[in-house]
Amino acid sequence: MNRQQKGKAGEDLAAAMLEKEGYEILERNYRFDRGEIDLVAREGGELVFIEVKARHGDRFGSPEDSVTPAKEEQLKKVAEGYLLEHHLDNQACRFDVVSIAFLGGAPRMRIIRNAFV
């Protein structure tokens, strides 16, 4: 399985888990300028921009460790683009991260709500 296939598989798992948790998935792989947000969803009255991070080992830390300050800034810019394109003024929103660890057996998944501001 190549990197793109692994990424899509992780996003599929994340989307299924989020839907079970009550999220409504609005878009997948939303692109703006040179950035991308894996999933855009709604939970309650909030718009949620979701970064999915998966790892197939723990040698480099947990999956969410790869959401660096630079990645956070890029996600914020893409989210601003989404809000502008969809004419969503004063929309409550947040950033979540879905962490998926493939360490043998079933993947360990968790949602980190309000992962950054």
pLDDT along the chain (117 residues), means of 10: 76 96 97 95 97 80 85 96 95 96 83 93
Q: Tell me what pLDDT residue 1 has.
A: 64
* CATH level 2 (architecture), domain 3-116: 3-Layer(aba) Sandwich (3.40)
The domain ranges of the chain are: 3-116
CB atoms closer than 10 angstroms to residue 82: 21
What's the distance, Cα to Cα, between the start and end of the chain in Å? 34
Tokens coding 64: 């969410």
* CB-CB contact of 15 with 28 (8 Å): yes
Tokens coding 42: 């709604």
CA distance 114 to 74: 16
